[in-house]
Amino acid sequence: MVSTALKMTARVARRKSGAGPRIAIAAAALFFTSQAVFAQATPPPDPPDETWKDLAEFAFVATSGNSESSTLGFSNKLWREWGPSKFETNAKGIRAESRTAPRFAVGTATDFEVEEPDTELSAENYFLDARYDRMISQRFFWFTSGSWMRDEFAGIQNRYTAVAGLGNLWVDTDRRKFRTDYAVTYTDEEATVEDSPSNDSFIGARASAAYMQKFGENGVYDHVTIVDENLKETKDLRVDMTNAVAVAMSARLALKVSLQFLYDNRPALEEIALFDTTGTQTGTVLNELDRVDTILKTSLVVKID
């Protein structure tokens, strides 16, 4: 383009020898000025954002006085995308303490002291995972992940899971995302009770779906469902479903409400004391825990990038 413009300038200069130099200089100045303006009007595309990003959630409730309790909840999501790859890690935890026994008095009817029982742990669970995704095509990917969880009140001392599979990215826009994936799993579970059937290692199959929808300028709805099937004992079916709504208060702060359902068709066992009709403890028995747990959480979300 530059050589063509210079040739045209030379031709004009030869035709009008008297004004040739001035016309050549003016034409060259006009050409280079137009190229500079065009370059400013169409800047090169920005490079992809490959920095680490983080979302942290905090929730804390405490009471004192006539009742005493405290509940702490937290979660953190750290991820990075580069090219066709994505790495993500999540950490979650809930810990609740409360005074479950009533106050009691020591002394006589006219001279006594009130004793306050100590608070006891009433709920506690922790979860940690890491996942790597690699796009094969625009809508198809493979992934692998590993996780650990502990929920002693659900009878789980430790559960380790390794996952590998494939997935489809059906919708991927700024306002809506939807993906499904299908995987083979290996689970090694240690229960809190030695004789529990949950003390086992097995191969399994997993299917999951994740959906995100933005509404308005500040709202986001998230849904995740994970279904795990124990291929060694098909009665052992587990479902983890979470629905969440977040509303942004600023570019870095949001309020979030989430409701999680945990279903286990073959729950773990707990060991409880056995009393006779006179109130005397005669031993212990194994009792099957509930199949469904629910976790409702309201938290403050902090975005870091």
SS3 160: strand
pLDDT of residue 23: 47
Higher confidence at residue 203 or residue 193? 203
pLDDT of residue 225: 98
Q: What is the pLDDT of residues 70-119, one digit of tens each?
A: 899 999 999 999 999 999 999 999 999 988 777 778 888 888 888 878 88
CA–CA dist 127, 150 (Å, integer): 7
Choose from 108-117, 239-248, 296-305 the range with maximum mean pLDDT: 239-248
pLDDT of residue 103: 78
Task: Give the contacts of 275 (CB within 8 A, at least 6 positions apart).
Answer: 281, 282
Q: What is the pLDDT of residues 170-193, one digit of tens each?
A: 999 999 999 999 999 999 999 998
- Give the CA diameter of the chain: 126
pLDDT of residue 5: 47
Choose from 30-44, 100-114, 152-166 the range with maximum mean pLDDT: 152-166
pLDDT of residue 49: 59
pLDDT of residue 92: 94
Phi and psi at residue 260, in whole multiples of 5°? Answer: -115, 135
Task: Give the helix/strand (H/E) hosting 9.
Answer: helix 2-15
Residue with tokens 């004789």, as numbered in its chain:
195
Q: Which fold has domain 49-304?
A: Porin (2.40.160)
Provide the pLDDT confidence category of residue 270 given band limits of 50, 70 and 90.
confident
Query: Is the CB of residue 212 less than 8 Å from the CB of residue 246?
Result: no
